[in-house]
A and B are shown apart, each in its own frame.
Chain A
Amino acid sequence: MQLVLSWPIRLFVVAVLIISLFVDGAGYVYRIVNKLPLQGNVAGLPPNFGGLQLYFHKGLDLAGGTHIDYQLTNFPAGQNRADVQQRTIQVINKRVNSLNVSEPEIRGAGTNNDRITVDLAGVNAEQAQKAIGAVSKLVYTTWVPDTKVTGGEYPGYKPALSGLTGDDIQSATATIDSTGTAWVVNITFTSHGADTFDRLTRANVAACPGDSTTVASANCPQRHLAIWLDLTQTDIDHWEDASYVAKVSSPYDPGCLATQAAGTVCGKFLTDPITREEIAGGQAQISGSFTQQSANDLATGINSGSLPVDLQVLDVTQVSATLGAESVKLSIAAGLLGLAIVVIFMIVYYRVPGFLASLALLFYAGAVLAIFKLVPVTLTLAGITGFVLSVGMAVDANVLIFERFKEEVRAGRTITAAVDAAVRRAWPAIRDSNTSTIITCVILGFVGPSAVKGFAITLAIGVFASLVSSIVVTHNLLAIVLAGGGFRRAGLLGVDRVRSV
């Protein structure tokens, strides 16, 4: 008891309180420092506080958006599954970039590295699935002579897989060219891709040298590098079939590919630019008569990269932003209402100790909210419920101590001795009961279904903070207030009678 009531502990509590209030108010601190309006939507927020992003991370059920779980199948043989999963995550990341989502969350899951979870705020399920799932493997092809080919872009030529694929592309962006008049697509290759691309373009130019814009003979098929999505060797083997070539050379058709029935041939063609000169260094530009839309489409198509595995949708959750905002409002209302009810009840029933416990409860709420911001804990509806519930549980330890306090006073102890004995005697029950809740939370956190993990985390944080607040804060407040003597009256302490010292 001496330790709990010592000044270092009290200083620590005050320090925690000040830090909590600072963290809770960090958004306002940032707004004041940067002379921003205190309310409303300001560009540049969430607040950046000393390099830390301090704000409440809202789960999708509160922010609105789409959550998808994917099962990965068809792992490439002989490769590390964790690496493959990581690569798939990067590709998905690249693909969802086109949706302009703030903080997309794409995480690996599954006991065998065979799951990926995608959380996208402010996007509906249809857009998300289209962006993530509908894209295919990108390949570059060169053109090689084949006298038996009669149809397609270049009769007498068929494509050959060049070995350059979407894996070798870092990014593609649609932009206005240096003259400021035409839309172009810039492609950046990875270092490996840059080498391959350099070799291919050198071979291109060597096939029919000259300035391709002025010299007609310099525009031979071998000087083109075509980009396809999902083109396979099987497709190339069919190149002598003119009708097949006509179909497969039509523009890339994701809808057809997604629902591909046996026997149908879908369009897989993206673009077939001519190589003007050898390109070393891994920076290429595709120009042509692009509109903004078509340049963007091509960039997105190239960006989609290549997925090393197949994705199968396990489950989808889409929550609208209005429903999310509604949930936030309701849970704040429920939380405040719950807090108010508990405070009123504690003050009415336990008088001064109840009031002090309520102060401790506010300390508790402030500290827990600060922890949520600092960790940060992603708050979901179930998570907020866990927090609201822990407010109810937080007073449990106080109730135990106060009931015990009444008994000790009844048994004839002085007020100070009664407080001390009450805290000490109530402790084993408080410890054991909270241990059981923590155990439940840990089990839920590890084996519980994902929907309830947020609940387990906030409840566990809440229970832990409530222990500190009830044992340390309430006890200290009681000791300080009762030291004065002004409150040693039966009516104020909620006991039958007070023994004079």
Chain B
Amino acid sequence: MSDVTPEQQVADLVEDGKAEQAAIVKPAAEPRVRRLNLIGKRNWFFALSLIIIVPGIVSMATRHFALGIDFAGGTELTVNFAGHPSLAAVQNAVDAEGANGSVISTGGDGYIIRYPPLAAAQLTSVQADLKNRLGPTNVQQILEVGGTIAGETIFLSVLAVVLASVAILLLLAIRFRNVPGGWRAGFQFGGSALAALLHDVFILTGIFSILGAFLKLRVGEIDAFFVTAVLTVVGFSVHDTIVVFDRIRENLRVSQRLSFEQVVNLSIMQTAARSIITSFTVVLVLAAILFAGGTTLQGLALALLIGIVSGTYSSIFNAAPLLVVWRRLQPLR
């Protein structure tokens, strides 16, 4: 695949610029939806984002997060009991062990029992004890995470998110430095994309803080998978933003007569269908994983689902409008 140089692109656009300009000059030929002025309503969109982000930040600040086993450390048993004991019965048995275990039901005969870190001998005795008290068990999974590893996992996760954000800012600045305005414009594009990206990260972490720490739902626990989700969302959100920005870059060259705001609005309109359709296909896949993929992956699928919806929203309704606001504060043309 050969790269398209700016020169080629401009030449190409001039060659059939007539057709494109005709489409812009004669709005009656365009579908009705094209006339929507999204940029003019930008404050509404910013407000909608804040309505979700602010409670999330409050929850993160006051309640923090419900940490999964790989962040919190400890020992976790996933057990099926043949004797169909109730949650209360399992909790009683675990309490009687005196190992500070807590029980979560996973539906059916499955339970997750969490302990503070247990030594190998303790783990054996705890399992034997469960068998004695509640009858035959089928241990599905044992997870044991020491403090060292838990600390490292948290550190590496945060490091990965920070590195990815910086790399994406640089990538966008490099890619968009050839729009009118040079490097400064490049950083406006990169900065707006980064803001939209942080918007998605805050929406996602905020909602998970509310789900896990406030509503005490297991699916809201954050672990290494959650970090995976955050980084994937970062990549996806930037996908969508780049498509919009790429169109703005292209339209800035062709449509010299339009104001910056009009160019941005037009570009959003031209790319919204693609962004929504792409996200929709991914959402379909994720919904498949969420409902058919079993409990292990539910948290990951939910996080990706929230993040990708948020990513598409922020690309259309936040990133490009932010670019307009920034351009007003720091005019380049």
A contact set with B: CB distance below 8 Å: 1, 3-4, 61, 69, 71, 124-126, 129, 133, 258-259, 313-320, 322-323, 326-327, 330-331, 333-334, 337-338, 341-342, 345-346, 349, 381-382, 385, 388-389, 391-393, 395-396, 399-400, 403, 407, 410-413, 421, 424-425, 427-429, 431-437, 439-441, 443-444, 447-449, 451-452, 455-456, 459, 471-472
Separation of A323 and B110 alpha carbons in the complex (Å): 12
Is chain B's binding surface mostly helix, strand, loop or mixed?
helix
How many pairs of A and B residues are in contact by the CB < 8 Å rule? 232
Q: State whether A432 and B160 are in contact (beta carbons under 8 Å apart), knowing that A341-B288, A411-B20, A439-B167 are contacts in the complex.
A: no
Contacts of B270 in A (CB 8 A): 407
Q: B16: CB under 8 A from chain A?
A: yes
Q: Are A389 and B304 in contact (CB under 8 A)?
A: yes
A259 to B270, CA, bound (A): 70
Report A-chain residues with C-beta under 8 Å of the C-beta of B55. Answer: none
B240: nearest residue on chain A (CB-CB)? A433
The complex places the Cα of A261 from the Cα of B286 at a distance, in Å, of: 53
Question: How many Å lie between the Cα of A69 and that of B164 in the bound state?
Answer: 27
Cα distance A395–B283 in the bound complex, in angstroms? 13
Contact B242 A320, beta carbon cutoff 8 Å: no
Give the residue of B159, B175, B250, B300 whose beta carbon is less than 8 angstroms from that of A447. Answer: B159
Decide: A427 near B235, CB < 8 A? Known: A316-B142, A382-B225.
Answer: no
A216 to B280, CA, bound (A): 90
Distance (Å) between the CB of B333 and the closest chain A CB? Answer: 21
Partner of B164, one of A125, A349, A443: A443
Task: For B160, give its contact among A333, A381, A413, A448 (CB under 8 Å).
Answer: A448
Task: Return the contact of B140 from the options A258, A319, A425 (Cβ within 8 A).
Answer: A319
What CA separation (Å) do A327 and B293 show in the bound complex? 8
How far apart are B253's CB and chain A's nearest CB, in angstroms?
A: 12
CA of A433 to CA of B242, assembled, Å: 6
In the complex, the chain A residue whose C-beta lies closest to that of B280 is A345
Least Cβ–Cβ distance between A378 and chain B, in angstroms: 16
Partner of B138, one of A322, A327, A451: A322
Please give, as numbers and ranges, the residues of chain B lying within 8 Å of A326 by CB-CB distance: 294
Are the CB atoms of A316 and B297 closer together than 8 Å?
Answer: no
Q: Are B19 and A412 in contact (CB under 8 A)?
A: yes
B12 touches A421 (CB 8 A): yes
Q: Is the CB of B4 within 8 A of A428?
A: yes
Q: Are A334 and B242 touching (Cβ within 8 A)? A: no
Residue B148, interface by CB 8 Å: yes
CA distance A345 to B2 in the complex (A): 30
* Cβ-defined contact, A440 with B234, below 8 A: yes
Contact with A320, one of B141, B163, B231, B289 (Cβ below 8 angstroms):
B141
A373: min CB distance to chain B, Å? 23
Q: How far is the CB of A356 from chain B (nearest CB, A)?
A: 16
Specify which chain A residues have a CB less than 8 angstroms from the CB of B138 in the assembled complex: 320, 322
- Provide the bound-state CA to CA distance between A349 and B143, in Å: 45
Known A389-B232, A403-B277, A443-B231; contact A436-B238, beta-carbon cutoff 8 A: yes
The stretch from B150-158, B210-218, B319-327 touching chain A is B150-158
Q: Which listed residue, A318, A391, A429, A455, touches B139 by the CB 8 Å rule?
A: A318
B239 contacts partner chain A, Cβ-Cβ < 8 Å: yes
> B285 near A316 (CB under 8 angstroms)?
no
B171's partner among A1, A400, A435, A447 (CB-CB below 8 A) is: A435
Docked-complex contact B289 and A69, CB < 8 angstroms: no
Q: Which 7 A-B pairs have the closest CB atoms?
A: A338-B285, A392-B282, A318-B142, A316-B144, A433-B239, A392-B285, A337-B288
B144 & A439 in contact (Cβ 8 Å cutoff): no
- Shortest distance between the CB of A68 and any CB in chain B (Å): 9
State A16–B293 Cα separation when bound (angstroms). Answer: 31
* B143 and A317 contact, CB distance less than 8 A: yes
Given A330-B293, A382-B225, A440-B235, do A319 and B141 touch, yes or no (CB 8 Å)? yes
Given contacts A322-B140, A381-B296, A449-B224, contact A342 B281 (CB under 8 A): yes
Q: How far is the CA of A334 from the CA of B238 in the complex (A)?
A: 26
Interface centre among B141, B175, B273, B289 (most CB of A within 10 A): B289
**B138–chain A nearest beta-carbon distance, Å:** 7
Q: Is the CB of B120 within 8 A of A432?
A: no
Would you call A452 and B289 a contact (CB within 8 A)? no
CA distance A412 to B23 in the complex (A): 10
**B187: min CB distance to chain A, Å:** 16
The listed residue (B23, B167, B228, B274) touching A399 by CB distance below 8 A is B274
Which residues, 117 to 144 on B, are CB-close (under 8 Å) to A?
A: 120-121, 123-124, 138-144
> How many angstroms between the C-alpha atoms of A453 and B168 in the bound complex?
20
Report whether A330 and B292 are in contact in the complex, using a CB–CB cutoff of 8 Å: yes
Q: Which residues of B contact A125 (CB under 8 A)?
A: 120, 123, 142, 144
Q: Which residues of B contact A427 (CB under 8 A)?
A: 1, 3-4
Q: Decide: A439 and B145 in contact? CB cutoff 8 A.
A: no
**Is the pair B144, A315 in contact by a Cβ cutoff of 8 Å?**
yes
- Would you call B255 an interface residue if the criterion is a C-beta within 8 Å of the partner chain's C-beta atoms? no
Given A69-B149, A314-B148, A327 contacting B294 (CB threshold 8 A): yes
Verify if B284 is at the interface (C-beta below 8 Å from A): yes
Given contacts A314-B146, A315-B144, is CB(A448)–CB(B156) below 8 Å?
yes
With A338-B284, A449-B157 as given contacts, are A411 and B163 in contact (CB-CB < 8 Å)?
no
User: Which B residues are CB-close (under 8 A) to A389?
Assistant: 232, 282, 285-286, 304
Contacts of B139 in A (CB 8 A): 124, 318, 320
State in angstroms the CA–CA spacing of A126 and B3 once bound together: 57
Within the complex, the shortest CB–CB distance from B224 to chain A, in Å, comes to 4
Check if B227 is an interface residue, CB within 8 A of chain A. Answer: yes
Q: How far is the CA of A125 from the CA of B142 in the complex (A)?
A: 8
A453 CB, nearest partner CB in chain B, Å: 10
- Picked from B19, B152, B247, B282, the residue with its CB within 8 Å of the CB of A413 is B19
Verify if B246 is at the interface (C-beta below 8 Å from A): yes
Nearest chain B CB to A1's CB is how many angstroms away?
A: 8
Decide yes or no whether B221 CB sits under 8 A from chain A: no
Task: Decide: A433 and B292 in contact? CB cutoff 8 A.
Answer: no
Q: Within 8 Å CB of B140, what residues of A?
A: 319-320, 322-323
Asked whether B243 is an interface residue with its Cβ less than 8 Å from the other chain, the reply is yes
B2 to chain A, nearest CB (A): 6
| 7 CB-based A-B contacts, threshold 8 Å | A3-B1, A327-B294, A391-B285, A428-B4, A436-B171, A449-B70, A451-B224
Q: Is residue B100 within 8 Å, beta carbon to beta carbon, of the partner chain? A: no
A395 touches B281 (CB 8 A): yes
Q: Within B272-322, which residues are at the interface with A (CB < 8 Å)?
A: 273-274, 277-278, 280-282, 284-286, 288-289, 292-294, 296-297, 300-301, 304
CB pair A439 B168 closer than 8 Å: yes
Residue of B nearest to A433 (CB): B239
Within the complex, the shortest CB–CB distance from A441 to chain B, in Å, comes to 8
Chain B residue contacts of A392, Cβ below 8 A: 281-282, 284-286
**Known contacts A323-B140, A389-B285, A421-B12; is-contact A334 B293 (Cβ 8 Å):** yes
Q: Which residues of A contact B91 (CB under 8 A)?
A: none
Does A317 contact B156, Cβ atoms closer than 8 Å? no
> In the bound complex, how far is the Cα of B283 from the Cα of A345, in angstroms?
12
User: What residues of chain A lie closer than 8 Å to B292, measured between beta carbons?
Assistant: 330, 333-334, 337
Contacts of B9 in A (CB 8 A): 425, 428
Chain B residues near A395 (CB-CB < 8 A): 278, 281
Given contacts A345-B284, A436-B242, 14 further A-B contacts (CB under 8 A): A126-B124, A133-B120, A313-B146, A316-B142, A318-B141, A330-B293, A381-B296, A392-B282, A393-B236, A393-B282, A396-B239, A403-B273, A429-B246, A436-B239
